[in-house]
Amino acid sequence: MGKKIKRIGILTAGGDSPGLNAAIRGVGKTALGYYGMEIIGFRDGFRGLVDNRRIKLDKSTLAGILTVGGTILGTSRDKPHRMVIDGRTRDMTSVIVDNYHKWGLDCLVCLGGGGTQKNALRLHQAGLNVITLPKTIDNDVAMTDATFGFATALDIATETIDRLHSTAHSHHRIIVAEIMGHRSGWLALGAGLAGGADVILIPEIPYDVVKIADAIRRRSRHGTNFSIVAVAEGAMSRDDFRAMTAAEKKLERAKTLHDKKEAKIELATLEVRHAGNTMCLAKHLEELTQLESRVTILGYVQRGGTPSAADRVLATRLGSACADLIHEEHYGVMVAARGDDTEAVPLEKVAGKRKNVPPDHSWVKAARRVGTCLGD
């Protein structure tokens, strides 16, 4: 008898990101053309595996998708262990396991960010052969040098800051540009550095609005009557940071259901209040500096469009390495970028962790040395 042909399942989960199609193509073309495997795509993340919504990926399906944004498979934020089915939240892990075996899969490849790494680990612990690829524009997946999607989003955010310089200069304004990054500041920090922002605010460094205003006033005294502020959506003042930290610790210490409920309500209230943080920041700066301020929120434009050359290369490298690992039957790992090479990192070391910006990172040091205010 001939050797059994390996059959791979692949899905994209979480938020969409530039480079997903390039990664699908990297896995698919290597698996099909180099190793002679079969590959099935599941639509809309883990829900597609529950609902048996699938598509056979072949050379014609993979043709022409390298430069296309988004994902041809669709995506969702559904979690296998907490999926809404007919209005009820249910654990669908056993259904996924059954369908994995029903379709004769030898491995399930999951493309996604931090949440996907945790969900993939749960499926691996349920007995499935799983490999993940790190995707997110936030660049915050642990144990990898880079995630695909980040480079493209960085280019888009930087170009936006470049364009804002001219209007800020012409009208002597403070322009506050809100950049994605709820828990980590890689995108705002990188775009702020590349775009020459005068102030960069990230979640890892709580800010003092008075110190920011002082930095802007110093620029005015030296004859520069405009400033660009690059702020991550998750950046917060020192007061808000202390309140949020206290609420999180309160939830950790809570022992009764009543105490947990109270702590969760407090956290949710703080998060709702923080949702309008960028607008409040701009207003405070206007009051403190007497300079007109305007806000630009980049939003989902950072996720869209054609992936950059850097993301196409990274996604193709990681996708191809993923097929190599499947051939070697090396499962339960994430394919990490490590310099110009790749590394298989056990999912246990990735899931539940986040790669934040270290306070002594070279980007932070460079920003300080060129005179950028970080709000502290």
* Active site amino acids: 138
- Residue 276 neighbours by CB under 8 Å, 6+ apart: none
| Token couple for 326 | 């499947």
SS3 231: strand
Separation between Cα atoms, residue 149 and residue 8, nearest integer Å: 23
Residue 141's DSSP bridge partners are 354
Rg, the chain, Cα only: 23
Residue 231's DSSP bridge partners are 178, 201
Listing DSSP states for 175-192 in one string gives EEEEES-SS--HHHHHHH
Question: Can you say whether the dihedral through the CA atoms of 365, 287, 236, 250 is positive or negative?
Answer: positive
Q: What is the largest distance, in Å, between two alpha-carbon atoms of the chain?
A: 83
Name the DSSP letter for residue 299: G
Cβ atoms of 205 and 189 closer than 8 Å:
no
- For residue 60, with 0-12 CB atoms within 10 Å meaning exposed, 13-18 middle and 19 or more buried, which class applies? exposed
Secondary element (H or E) of residue 200: strand 199-201
- For residue 102, with 0-12 CB atoms within 10 Å meaning exposed, 13-18 middle and 19 or more buried, which class applies? exposed
What's the gap between Cα 184 and its chain centre?
9
Separation between Cα atoms, residue 229 and residue 216, nearest integer Å: 10
Cβ atoms of 160 and 154 closer than 8 Å:
no
